[in-house]
Amino acid sequence: IQYLAGDPRLTPEGDVWVPDEHDTTKFEPSARGGNLWPYRGRYDVPNTTPDALQLQQLYAGMAAEECTAVVMEVSSHALALGRTDGTSFDIAVFTNLTRDHLDFHGSFEEYREAKLKLFRELTDPDRQRAVINLDDPEAHHFIKAASKVPIITYSMENSDAAVYAESVELSLFETAVLLKCPEGDIQAVSGLLGRFNVSNMLAAAAVGVALGAPLETIAYGIENCEAVPGRFEMIDEGQPFAVITDYAHTPDALERVLLAAREIGARRILLVFGAGGDRDRGKRPMMGRIAHELADVVFVCNDNPRTECLQQICADIVSGFPVELHNAHPEANFNWLQDMWHTRHTGAWDEMGHTLELQNDVRRYILEERFYAIRIAIAMADEGDAVIIAGKGHEDYLDWKVDWVDRRKHWFDDRQEARDTLQRVVPLQEAGVDTRNLPWDQVNR
């Protein structure tokens, strides 16, 4: 029986779909505020890791095209549900383990157990290798799980690691590294930005060491690796500040991205983010706290609400803001840390504008429409700032069930929305519109 299950990456012959351009969304139009557009993207893939039968079909298609190696992300869901059964990995890489997917696994310990399964299945010391990040506090669990095969460690902090970052130079446009390896040193300059990407370079170099690749080959790979879409990806339209999209949707990932932006020299950080619906609610206040502590200006908005109430998701995030912020305006007899449009349901029309004034004062905005949050954040940025749009990264859709639309998936791409904004905001500012606060106003009116 032919098995396809509608996977858009495969042709009926099992061949792998190849995009016409490197970024298939770049020339798509932006969305429209207050509207939900039909999904028209080309990355409509339901799972990080396909199921076991689809994987074998993918492998067969790749082999028919004379592909000799496969690099894949293996999710904890895939391991727990047996999607990689029948796949024997030559190298398994452990990068880090932080809180995620607890709605599925139930506890952090069960989440870790799912990940460990990949390393316990490494049993052939002649063929298989494990690559493990010593900088992660969970590393010892993975070292024990992979004890039957040779282990190559890497680290930015521990000089005893097989692959170690001897020196790192970070900037807003490139990263220079000197890596110590068992066979010698690697010097490379990469367009990948941020300290966490140095850790990724170390992981890649350690895989190269495990494969026995020449050092010059490893260096060439590091220097010629392009930025992964939606992973600390710069959106450049010639503006004098950075606009960065990133997939960070957990507390740890959000913290790493914000610290990276500060470390590469951002004057101010303006953060746009939300949290997914029908997922682990416990991480929302944690993300709210991290956003408040590490960003200068914060915009809380939607991020795949799915079937959950968007107002409640935002409230969960805002609950992570400190008590001092919630009590910053005791004279206000209404909830001013919510989207201003909700005040109309209480009949307090006069409070809508007052809500913006109070949020301006603390530079913490709740704008449920991601469309507007992105535009207002970019319009508010000055030279040397960094606008971080976090949570969705490469995704070109919103997963949002609303009563008046008979579909869940809607077209929306953070990268394209950022490009559209950068192209439109300059003419507005040149025309005398002051975009530094909400609502926008005429300069010296």
pLDDT digits (tens, 9 = 90+) for 116-162: 999 999 999 999 999 999 999 999 999 999 999 999 999 999 999 99
User: Which pLDDT does position 20 carry in this prediction?
Assistant: 47
Using a cut of 0.85, tell me whether the model's pTM lies above it: no
Q: Does residue 170 surpass a pLDDT of 50?
A: yes
Per the CB < 8 A criterion, the answer to whether 175 and 190 are in contact is yes
pLDDT digits (tens, 9 = 90+) for 351-382: 777 898 999 999 999 999 999 999 999 999 99
User: Which pLDDT does position 52 carry in this prediction?
Assistant: 87
Question: 258 phi and psi, to 5 degrees?
Answer: -70, -40
Give the Cα separation of 278 and 81 in Å (integer).
20
**Residue 24 or residue 444, greater confidence:** 444
Residue 36 binned pLDDT confidence (cut-offs 50, 70, 90): low
Per the CB < 8 A criterion, the answer to whether 193 and 375 are in contact is no
Give the Cα separation of 145 and 132 in Å (integer).
11
Work out the burial of residue 230: count CB atoms within 10 Å of its CB; fewer than 13 is exposed, 13-18 middle, 19 or more buried.
buried
Give the helix/strand (H/E) hosting 356: helix 351-362
Give the Cα separation of 431 and 160 in Å (integer).
59
Handedness of CA 14, 15, 16, 20 (dihedral sign): negative
Quick one: CA torsion of 432, 435, 440, 441, rounded to 10 degrees? -30
User: Which pLDDT does position 104 carry in this prediction?
Assistant: 78
pLDDT-above-90 percentage for the chain: 61
Q: Does residue 16 surpass a pLDDT of 50?
A: no
Residue 229 binned pLDDT confidence (cut-offs 50, 70, 90): confident
363: tokens are 């530079």
Answer left, alpha or beta for residue 444, where phi above 0 means left and psi between -120 and 50 means alpha: left
Give the Cα separation of 333 and 90 in Å (integer).
62
User: Which pLDDT does position 344 carry in this prediction?
Assistant: 67
Give the Cα separation of 383 and 266 in Å (integer).
9
